[in-house]
Copies of this chain bind each other. A is one copy, B any other.
């Protein structure tokens, strides 16, 4: 038809494009994502678009009405509180489970920190921060735990993106503080017990929450 779908499959292409548009705020929260309109714009049929919308709903970036229409998710402060509550429940657990593995090999975390220290934009640091945490979830060895966390990641990116666009968070302090806090966590993994790692991660998440504008 029109433009060649770059990535492996069309639905994957549709997912990535819509995902970015939603997180970057190009798609208005609450706006309708009609299958035909999206399909025509992306140069494909409704079928892969439909599939993409299903997967984006799983990631919390899209929500369906009772009659099956897809809308760009409009997160509320309460939604964010829910996400925070779940991070606080899942991440310290993941840190404890991952501790034995990360004590042996924390190279991925260290590499992430080293890149973070050189990062310049808030956007990059946000992404690297999430990746740091995801490395830990992955190292926990609990595939379901990882998947649950990943299912919330999109919503967190969405929330943080909107926050950055509206509030212009002060970047100077947070950039280095993020790397420092992460370095402390890595040190804990290398020298302390799993229970200690769990406690530190809990404090880290609590601190992260304190940081954000209350809105």
List the interface of chain A (C-beta within 8 A of B): 2-7, 51, 54, 57-58, 64, 66-68, 82-83, 85-86, 89-90, 93, 97, 142-145, 148, 151-152
Q: Which of B4, B54, B57, B148 contacts A148 (CB 8 A)?
A: B148
- Give every chain B residue within 8 A of A66 (Cβ-Cβ): 2, 6
Given A54-B54, A58-B58, A148-B148, CB of A85 within 8 Å of CB of B6: no
Query: A4–B51 Cα gap in the complex (Å)?
Result: 12
- Give every chain B residue within 8 A of A93 (Cβ-Cβ): 85, 89
* Majority SS at the chain A contact face: helix
Given A5-B67, A85-B142, A89-B93, 20 more A-B residue pairs with CB atoms under 8 Å apart are A4-B54, A4-B68, A5-B64, A6-B67, A54-B54, A82-B142, A82-B143, A82-B144, A82-B145, A85-B93, A85-B97, A85-B145, A86-B142, A86-B144, A86-B145, A86-B148, A89-B89, A89-B90, A144-B152, A148-B148
